Amino acid sequence: MKNQKLLVALLTVTSLFAGITSLTACSKNAIKSPPMGFLSKPNLMKKQSDDTWQYVAPKTDWSKYTSVYVAPVSIGPAVMNGKNVEQTAELPQMVMKFKADLEKEMTKKYTRAESAGPNTLVVRVQLVKAEPNAPALNIAPQTQMGGMGFGFGEIAIEVADGATGIPLFEYADVENTSRFSTEKMSVWGSLEKSFTDWIAVVVKACNAS
């Protein structure tokens, strides 16, 4: 009987601990407000979840746009501050590939443009924050539960009218490493997955699929 009570108590404590760490992992990198200084009209954005803010201009006629200009992806100052130099050395190439992949998907429908102009969509992206995974800490179940080795990425995206500069779509999002993902075993694996997810968001928003 004592053993049964002890087992129940242990299960209860374990469940509570898992719940607390799960909540912490979901909320520790939440976006409390849209990133300022990059997006043109962050005040228009509405909170979709703890991790996402978004604005879509009403009654946008996407069919009038025939081309797209994808600007070089910028890396926010918070990304590099206090990071290991060897780790961050990979980021410029990663964001260049992200830009190329985004452009590839967008030009399946729109013609590639060299600059902003009439009937052109302008896509601007900033990598606001990025924390690498620590794969060595993601092997043991104990450290995985606490998310000690988990990284995350935060992005800000704007799609604007190339003639007027008026924003048609603004998006801010953070993606955390998932405990059950394979990406956690790579330093920047989670961020690379996030890039793929964010491309899909832009393509869908611009009706480019």
CATH of the domain at 69: 3.30.160
Report the DSSP beta bridge partners of residue 120: 67
How much is the pLDDT for 55? 97
How much is the pLDDT for 83? 61
Half-sphere exposure of 152 (CA within 13 A, CB side): 20
Do the bridges between strand 111-112 and strand 167-176 make them parallel or antiparallel, or are there none, so unpaired? Answer: unpaired
Quote the strand ranges of the chain, DSSP E: 46-49, 52-56, 67-70, 74-75, 111-112, 120-131, 152-161, 167-176
Q: How many domains, the chain?
A: 1
Q: Dihedral of the CA atoms 48, 52, 57, 59 (nearest 10)?
A: -50
Three-state DSSP state, 17:
helix
Quote the strand ranges of 24-110, DSSP E: 46-49, 52-56, 67-70, 74-75
How much is the pLDDT for 143? 56
Only one residue has tokens 């242990």, namely 10
Please report, in tens digits, the pLDDT of each residue of the chain (209 residues total).
545 544 444 334 334 334 434 433 444 678 888 888 899 999 999 999 999 999 999 999 999 999 999 999 999 988 876 666 667 888 999 999 999 999 999 999 999 999 999 999 999 999 999 988 877 777 666 555 556 678 899 999 999 999 999 999 999 999 987 777 777 777 788 999 999 999 999 999 998 65
- For the record, the structure tokens of 109 come out as 């429908």
How much is the pLDDT for 25? 42
> How buried is 124 (Cβ within 10 angstroms: 0-12 exposed, 13-18 middle, 19+ buried)?
buried
User: How far is it, in rounded angstroms, from Cα 156 to Cα 124?
Assistant: 8
The predicted model scores a pTM of 0.81
Of the candidates 125, 127, 114, 126, the residue with the CA atom closest to the CA atom of residue 68? 114
Parent domain of 41: 2-205
